[in-house]
Amino acid sequence: MSLPTDEENSALLLTSYQTLRQTLLTRLSSSSSSSHIIPPLPPPPSLSQTLTTLPDPTSPTYLHPLGPSATLAHLHTSILPSLSNQSLTPLYLAFVTGGSLPVAEAADNLVSALDNSAQVHLPYHSATGFVEDSALRMLITLLALGEHKNWPARTFTTGATASNILGLACGREFVISHRLPQNDKKTVAEMGLLEACRVAGIKKIQVLTSAGHSSLSKAASIVGLGYSSVKEVRVSEEEPWRLDLDAVERELERGEEDGVASIVVISAGEVNTGRFATGVLDMPKLRSLADRHGAWIHVDGAFGIFARVLPKTDDFLDLHAHVAGLELADSIALDAHKILNVPYDAGVFLSRNAAITTQVCQNPNAAYLTPPSTTTTSSEILPPLNIGLENSRRFRALPVYAVLLSEGLPGISSMVARMVRLARRIASFIRDSPHYTLLPSSSSSSSSDPSALTNTFIIVLFRARNEILNETLVDKINALNKIFISGTVWRDQKAARIAVSNWRCDVDRDFEIVKDVLRDVAESFSSP
């Protein structure tokens, strides 16, 4: 049997892509014509239908070849109808997911077609390394993080979780190194955590944070610090997202005598409320504390760091104050697949400390992976495989590059501003509604306090006033399949959470849909 020709393969790909675009256009236009509503989730019957078409391990034809044409037909007719419209509707408001800008999708297809691995930066071999670095530089400028050279160890990751793992791994390396005897030539990476801590006289490494994301605890486990190393130092239970700087200072001082080393992690922002750990003067103070005590500062800015691209108008000044100074951190984690609206999976890790980052991620003893020294034209670009988790990896920079090139700073700024404005319209409606309570309510942000709105980024947390309705609120809202939201727990009670993160969001149109759903659910409950 001969291989298909290039013409046959090309025709197969074109047909598949044309079918896909046609199917999606039908989904988008049939809904938008009448009500503008695209059901976020696939209908349950198509989901159960799909499950019956998956390969059956007991069948005699299990793993018999189906061939590309029949396989693609199966993907289009059986799998596609059961995938959610997460990217197609701006009203998939659960988690923080983002969608996929068309230019990013096109770039992503190019990445798959050429399948270059952005692993070793070989300047004569492929442009991948240069394009990646160009995307990272644009991102550093977009987020106003200072000069590109301040972030020499910059790389793409699979997401903020991977970036948080890198942040804690670098933090661990740094805080232990800082206490190793001057004459000790071995690095933490060589010795490993246990021996290095023993030599450095460290009994414990703690991660000081406020309302840290779950992935931070996961990262702490993976890098050998353990969940229990994550220590919440919050200003108060009313504002658990705010970092208590006095407590951080006490911990750092105490740590020097007690053999405790610290990594400080800034939640920018917190995933339930979208609120931020720091205020306008906090980062310079934290920086000098960390320098004095040999601590490492990592920012988990997965979605929140994008507040820095908002216009500097009055309505966004509160948010700007909460993301001020983040450029003073030692390392930063952020997601491109959320607010930046590129396809999964794409995150970024930025580190100021090239020596520490390389020490942690270096492939030792792999001469064949080392770029020849003649290729020093690119000396500023560190080999991706020595500053990140993966060795072989996808050229995932290209969709980010395409979005930054296509939208520029003004385009991204107005996209994020639209997200914030929609979130605030919804928050304002909830605040004034007789049926709902806008959270987080605290003494300092009572229902009439305007800061409840000016501090709203892209997330709206709320609950139903009626406790019985509140028990099933999220299910009732999602059952209508007009919007899709997440449930969570806030101060020991169930709560609902809306996160606006799709480039398609339209403030007026989408607000009307969300308002109608929230009103219908509340009114049909109170008048059975």
Q: Which residues bind ligand PLP (CB under 6 A)?
A: 96, 159-161, 213, 215, 271, 300, 302-303, 335, 347
- The phi and psi torsions of 16 (rounded to 5 degrees) equal -60, -45
Smallest distance, ligand PLP to C-beta of residue 158, A: 7
Q: How far is the CB of 23 from ligand PLP (least distance, A)?
A: 27
Q: How far is the CB of 309 from ligand PLP (least distance, A)?
A: 17
Structure tokens at 492: 């020991």
**Residue 305 Cβ vs ligand PLP, minimum distance, rounded to whole Å:** 10
Cα gap 50→75, rounded to integer Å: 10
Return the number of the residue (135 or 521) whose C-beta is nearest ligand PLP. Answer: 135
Q: Quick one: 160 or 385, whose CB is closer to ligand PLP?
A: 160
Q: Output 157 or 358, the one with its CB closest to ligand PLP.
A: 157
Beta bridge partners of 462: 438, 496
CA 307 – CA 304 distance, rounded (Å): 6
Q: Which of 339, 321, 527 is nearest to 415 (CA)?
A: 339
Sequence-separated (6 or more) residues with CB below 8 Å from residue 462: 427, 430, 436, 437, 438, 439, 495, 496, 497, 498
Distance between CA atoms of 155 and 400, rounded to whole angstroms?
A: 12
Q: What is the number of the residue whose Cβ is closest to ligand PLP?
A: 159
Euclidean distance between CA atoms 264 and 287, whole angstroms: 10
According to DSSP, the β-strands at 204-209 and 493-499 are unpaired
Q: Shortest Cβ distance from residue 139 to ligand PLP (Å)?
A: 15
Give whichever of 270 and 327 is closer to ligand PLP, judged by the CB atom: 270
Q: Rg of the chain over CA atoms, in angstroms?
A: 25
**Shortest separation between residue 37's beta carbon and ligand PLP, angstroms:** 26
Please, which residue, 252 or 403, has the CB nearer to ligand PLP? 403
The smaller minimum CB distance to ligand PLP, of residues 85 and 163, is found at 163
Cβ proximity to ligand PLP: between 152 and 399 the closer is 399
Q: How far apart are CA 164 and CA 209, in angstroms?
A: 13
Query: At residue 487, what are phi and psi to the nearest 5 degrees?
Result: -95, 150
Dihedrals phi, psi of 302, to nearest 5 degrees: -35, -60
Amino acid (one-letter) located at 342:
V
**What percent of the chain is helix, strand and coil (3-state, nearest 5)?**
50, 15, 35
Q: How far is the CB of 337 from ligand PLP (least distance, A)?
A: 6
Residue 512 CA to its chain's centroid (Å) = 28
**246 near 233, Cβ under 8 Å?**
no
Angle at 105 between CA 104 and CA 107, to 5 degrees: 65
Sign of CA dihedral 62, 67, 70, 71: positive
The C-alpha atoms of residue 276 and residue 269 are separated, in whole angstroms, by: 5
Q: Between 135 and 271, whose beta carbon lies closer to ligand PLP?
A: 271
Q: How many CB atoms lie within 10 A of CB 277?
A: 33
User: Which of 143, 202 has the CB closer to ligand PLP?
Assistant: 143
214 vs 42: CA distance, rounded Å: 28
Residue nearer to ligand PLP on the CB measure, 163 or 470: 163
Least distance in Å: CB of 376 to ligand PLP? 34
Residue 41 to residue 160: CA distance in whole angstroms: 25
At residue 296, φ and ψ (nearest 5 deg) are -115, 135
| Nearest-approach distance from CB 17 to ligand PLP, in angstroms | 27
- Least distance from C-beta 346 to ligand PLP, angstroms? 9
Measured from the CB atom, the residue of 159 and 384 that comes closer to ligand PLP is 159
CB of residue 255 to ligand PLP, shortest distance in Å: 25
The dihedral through the CA atoms of 221, 501, 409, 394 has a sign that is positive
We find the least distance from the C-beta atom of residue 96 to ligand PLP, in angstroms, to be 5
Q: CB nearer to ligand PLP: give 98 or 383.
A: 98
Least distance from ligand PLP to the Cβ atom of residue 229, Å: 17
* Residue type present at position 291: D
Helix 397-432 and helix 128-142: axis angle, to 10°?
Answer: 30
| Residue (177 or 351) nearer to ligand PLP, CB | 351
* Residue among 279, 346, 289 at smallest CA distance from 319: 279
